Structure 1
Amino acid sequence: MSDTDSQTLFSPEATAACPLLDPETAQRYRDEAHARADRLEQEIPPAARTLPALLAARVQADGDGALVGMDRVTLSAAELADQAARIAGSLRAAGVKAGDRVAIISTNRIEFMPLFCAIGWIGAVVVPINTASRGLQLQHILENSAARLLVLEAEFLANLDTIDRTGLALETVFVLAPDADLELPDGVRPMPAPAEPLPAVEVKPADPLAILYTSGTTGLSKGVICPHEQFFWWAITTGRQLGIRPGDVLHTTLPLFHTNALNCFFQALVFGAAQSLSQRFSVSGFFKALKSSGADVTYLLGAMVPMLLSRPESAEERDHHTRIALAPGVPAQFHDAFLRRTGILLLDAFGSTESNNVIQTEALNPRPGMIGRITKGFDARVVDEFDNEVPDGTAGELLLRADAPNAFAHGYFAMPDKTVESWKNLWLHTGDRVVRAPDGYFRFVDRIKETIRRRGENISSFEVEQGVMSHPAVATAAVFPVASELAEDEVMVAVVLKDGATLSGEELIRHCETRLPYYSVPRYVDFRHDLPRTENGKIQKFKLKEEGITDSTWDREAAGVTLRR
């Protein structure tokens, strides 16, 4: 397939809805995006690829221009830098020094980014914590990071009641913007007022800016050490892919305690754009937010697109001027409908907290169903269990490597054994199974640890989910293993139907058996109103596994439904 043939994957209605699918327009868009990113890469030397230096450069270039906004509050680059310097003064007065870890538990709010920048301003390390963390997970994160200061929103004070603070390095707890009449527990104080501004501490590109904790579904959460320069490269690689222009508005509904939304900020910072924040993702409010923010670019995760498409088609889906979205993990069958209904082109990509945006599709060749080709400055291999490279067309683990120093994370904080395990043989082991095609495009298969083993066959939960979600009545689905009488796994799927849709277990199975290998067709179906999710909409399969088979679960074998092989 040539670079201009990909538009044939879309219907004429979808192609007409998006000027970026015109081959000449797409080629020009790509060329301009690459030239812009390459110029920034040349103009910003390695020593200047730190948060304080990037912010200072933005102030000098366009100090009065908007940099971050939420609701009706917008901060210019100069205002953000001034607030960061003053909050840095109050943090220093509280005893925070370079290298100290400062934890944050907060939803998306305008105060988050000045606080984030202030921590980096004095050479300290930000530890953003998922607002849902409590109990064992929160205890582990605070112990592992040895955070000396915690800043949190008042609504999460109860999270502290679920941990034992004895023995923690935590010395101070500040509440972010508390209500005046809120009675604070002992040892908890309101966030102090900004102090006299401090000059930025000299930090190096390799110095850690943030420790981001990955989900701990297969063990304790691991704190990924993200250096300053890694965020610069996130900005360059993603800005190149999306074609971000000076003056663009980049709207995200994703939480600031994860890498995606933080990287959105750096894209705005480096490319002369502005970040727009929503507090959270809302199916009913998403397109209204695109319009009110004036968004040119937005960010979605795989589960969000079918959720948006499950609603009745409406005029507000086109009442905006958003042109493109970074949308990793969206099943191929949803791209055409989303483009036709919204005019927004979805681009897939592969990146992890440990790596960067290393594999991408582009407007010139979106290729729904593929995660893209390796981008400039990175290398990839697909290997077997012994790290031997496998031929194209063969599934294996994806290994990654960066050309530039500090483009990847530096390992896991205070977990040297896990660091060695993931970075063995000088390659980052992603834990993801992919297939590389002869033309260099990669297709995601599944998380290696999410493979289901049934009747001697390895089953991709991702591929089964795609088969289930291709049914027009299905809004979203999650596939996971449950115990079998034969000491392997049985395939179970939790299904959420579209509003007003009806579907029986047998109807779904009959649909799947024409699209999946017989051994992959689910035995168990559980129709649900919703699925357990993280704050950024990711389905929590471990909770579904814990629930397992319930009284509401439909069993294909108990119902006497025989597959037609």
Structure 2
Amino acid sequence: MLLRRCETAGDTPLLLIDGAVLSARDLADRAGRSAARLAKAGIELGDRVALLCGNRLEFFDMLLGTIWLGAIAVPINRAARGAQLQHILANSGARLLVLEADVAQAMAYVPSADLALEAIWVLPARGEDALPKTAGEWALIPVPEPGVPRESAPTGPAHTAMIIYTSGTTGPSKGVCCPQAQFFWWGLNSIDVLEIEAEDVLLTTLPLFHVNALGAFFQALLSGSRLVVMDRFSASGFSAALARHGATVTYLLGAMVSILLATPDQPDDAAHRVRRALAPGVPAQFHAAFAGRYGMALIDGYGATESNFVIGGGDPLPGCMGQVRPGYEAIVADEDDNPLPDGTPGELLLRAGHPHAFAAGYHEMPSQTAASWRNLWLHTGDRVWRDAEGRFYFMDRIKDAIRRRGENISAFEVEQVLLSHPAIAIAAVYPVPSEHGEDEVMASLVLREGMALSPEALLDFCQPRMTYFSVPRYLRFADTLPTTENGKVQKFRLRDMGVTPDAWDREAAGYQVARAVRAVAG
């Protein structure tokens, strides 16, 4: 795809990031040089290279260089910590980790046992030159200089380009094996839904370890347009950034829309060229208000890391994901995978007609792969319904996952951290409603007999061991929790209870979560 862009529009701007303006030829040259650097370090075809890095040019250098070499990139959420980071590195079998200096100390909590890591390369923090030399037992090496450009490896559409980790639901995070063709089709589907043309300027503030922002890059690559990558989302500077860069298309998450609407009106809110924003999961009641104030249409849709942008377009209504895209199939099914009639809620099942348009499965997790791709359908774990015109509507997640401020949170992984505290006997983590239209994290806990624990002390324990957005907002200490006859906690009863009067609210208490990275939603 990159070489094709070089042939058709090689000198036109493709990527604007960190103040640099780069064409396809520039990126191809940088990818070849980065691939040479990796090859000199012993990285070979099929090896995994993990990236713990924010929105900066070096991310693209390492990502494209890795794929150019025929190795596999593993972009990791920059907020990953503790057991979650350990699991991702172990499961992926990454031989090399590239990270930024300001997150390097996260490795102090990651023991080397069971990891294939042979080296950790460190990038300087923004605006700084000093580099740490160690993190716990790990030695940190400055990223070597690029080498002489080398030719790209002879890979094809089925070759795995990236392993992208989704949040665990009933178990640890799963690494989704994404072939090169998946990003091709993701780009084309998005171009069609968003009506992107070569003259467009795309702007994303979303993190590059998410498939949303990665998809925006392939939209620009395939359409002949350009992509502006911002460091982070800022509600106060949102419209100004769009105007400054001449953006015509942008990308939002549901929580970002509600946050923008909650800010005071400004005379320049609509003083930009953006005509539409890809904004999945925005409640119907926000569409008209947002379009009236910010002057852009919100485009819904459905896409998962395991699938593609499979639902979108078809004259959707506010709060509706749209219709299934050409080349794909989607049904609403019961627990036995039987199609349900229109208007009846069930699980969304997907199928692709294009080769390698979907992920190939979960890395080193054959049983989970078989469960999700059973009966020739990808099982999304999402509950939806379809109307008589073929439009799909999202209801909720069947999976035991929580979505907060655009981030997927594994209840299982949060529970594992809580249960590792010596004072906690039982922990149940579940979503409760947020004022921003998504979820907040709540935990109900039973302490070990004779033990005492303050909410503040527990969150102090949690912070270095989990992503900042996973730290529970609400804590409830109880003598017992509702369970089944075999002792399993009945989370549905806890969810139905919601935020109870005896729950401790860290925001009301003024407890501050230290954000090791900037939040997606500011």
Range into which the TM-score falls when normalised by the shorter chain: 0.7 to 0.9
Secondary structure of the corresponding residue to residue 491 of structure 1: helix
Distance 1:524 1:341, change over 3 A: farther
Map of 1:411 onto structure 2? 361
Secondary structure of the corresponding residue to residue 171 of structure 2: coil
My pick for the range that moved more, 523-532 or 293-302, is: 523-532
- Aligned AA (2:354): A
Correspondence 1:353 to 2:302:
no
- Aligned AA (2:301): A
Distance 1:381 1:181, change over 3 A: closer
What is the 5 A alignment of 1:40-59? Answer: 54-59=1-6
Q: CA deviation at 1:285?
A: 1.8
Secondary structure of the corresponding residue to residue 57 of structure 2: coil
Map of 1:106 onto structure 2? 53
For 1:110 and 1:171, locate their aligned partners in 2 and report how far apart those are by CA, in whole Å: 24
- Aligned AA (2:359): A
State whether residues 199 and 225 of structure 2, in contact with CA within 8 Å, keep that contact through their aligned partners in structure 1: yes
Secondary structure of the corresponding residue to residue 408 of structure 1: coil
For 2:375 and 2:518, locate their aligned partners in 1 and report how far apart those are by CA, in whole Å: 34
Map of 2:347 onto structure 1? 397
Map of 1:420 onto structure 2? 370
For 1:157 and 1:319, locate their aligned partners in 2 and report how far apart those are by CA, in whole Å: 40
Correspondence 1:243 to 2:195:
yes
State whether residues 330 and 349 of structure 2, in contact with CA within 8 Å, keep that contact through their aligned partners in structure 1: yes
Deviations for 1:10-46, whole angstroms, at most 9, x for unmatched residues?
xxxxxxxxxxxxxxxxxxxxxxxxxxxxxxxxxxxxx
Map of 2:464 onto structure 1? none
Secondary structure of the corresponding residue to residue 496 of structure 2: strand
Correspondence 1:201 to 2:153:
yes
- Aligned AA (1:287): S
- Aligned AA (1:201): A
Q: CA deviation at 1:449?
A: 3.1
Map of 1:144 onto structure 2? 91
Q: CA deviation at 1:61?
A: 1.2
Q: CA deviation at 1:427?
A: 0.2
Correspondence 1:219 to 2:140:
no
Unpaired runs of 5+ residues, structure 1, are 1-53, 453-460, 495-504, 506-521, 540-565
Map of 2:386 onto structure 1? 436
Q: CA deviation at 1:176?
A: 2.1
Distance 1:218 1:280, change over 3 A: farther
Structure with the greater alpha carbon radius of gyration: 1
Distance 1:57 1:449, change over 3 A: closer
For 1:146 and 1:297, locate their aligned partners in 2 and report how far apart those are by CA, in whole Å: 37
Map of 1:162 onto structure 2? 109
What is the 5 A alignment of 1:112-151? Answer: 112-151=59-98
State whether residues 433 and 448 of structure 1, in contact with CA within 8 Å, keep that contact through their aligned partners in structure 2: yes
Distance 1:485 1:342, change over 3 A: same
Map of 1:491 onto structure 2? 496
Distance 1:177 1:451, change over 3 A: closer
What is the 5 A alignment of 1:456-471? Answer: none
Map of 1:320 onto structure 2? 272
TM-score, L = length of structure 2: 0.79
Deviations for 1:209-233, whole angstroms, at most 9, x for unmatched residues?
0000001253200000000000000
Secondary structure of the corresponding residue to residue 268 of structure 2: helix
Aligned length: 442
Distance 1:163 1:485, change over 3 A: closer
What is the 5 A alignment of 1:173-322? Answer: 173-177=120-124, 179-185=128-134, 187-322=139-274
Kindly, what percent of the aligned residue pairs are identical?
Answer: 48
For 2:401 and 2:224, locate their aligned partners in 1 and report how far apart those are by CA, in whole Å: 42
For 2:240 and 2:43, locate their aligned partners in 1 and report how far apart those are by CA, in whole Å: 41
Q: CA deviation at 1:436?
A: 0.8
State whether residues 492 and 525 of structure 1, in contact with CA within 8 Å, keep that contact through their aligned partners in structure 2: no
Q: CA deviation at 1:254?
A: 0.7
- Aligned AA (2:108): D
State whether residues 119 and 125 of structure 1, in contact with CA within 8 Å, keep that contact through their aligned partners in structure 2: yes
Q: CA deviation at 1:423?
A: 0.4
Q: CA deviation at 1:59?
A: 1.0
Q: CA deviation at 1:279?
A: 1.1
Distance 1:525 1:336, change over 3 A: farther
Map of 1:26 onto structure 2? none
Map of 1:556 onto structure 2? none
State whether residues 230 and 406 of structure 1, in contact with CA within 8 Å, keep that contact through their aligned partners in structure 2: yes
Secondary structure of the corresponding residue to residue 68 of structure 1: strand
For 2:26 and 2:189, locate their aligned partners in 1 and report how far apart those are by CA, in whole Å: 27
Q: CA deviation at 1:478?
A: 2.9
State whether residues 297 and 324 of structure 1, in contact with CA within 8 Å, keep that contact through their aligned partners in structure 2: yes
State whether residues 450 and 480 of structure 1, in contact with CA within 8 Å, keep that contact through their aligned partners in structure 2: no
Deviations for 1:303-340, whole angstroms, at most 9, x for unmatched residues?
11000000111122111101111100000000000000
- Aligned AA (2:283): P
Unpaired runs of 5+ residues, structure 2, are 403-429, 445-480, 484-489
Deviations for 1:109-153, whole angstroms, at most 9, x for unmatched residues?
122112211111010000001111111011111110000011111
Correspondence 1:381 to 2:328:
no
Deviations for 1:23-81, whole angstroms, at most 9, x for unmatched residues?
xxxxxxxxxxxxxxxxxxxxxxxxxxxxxxx1111111112111111242111111111
Map of 2:465 onto structure 1? none
For 2:321 and 2:45, locate their aligned partners in 1 and report how far apart those are by CA, in whole Å: 39
State whether residues 291 and 319 of structure 1, in contact with CA within 8 Å, keep that contact through their aligned partners in structure 2: yes
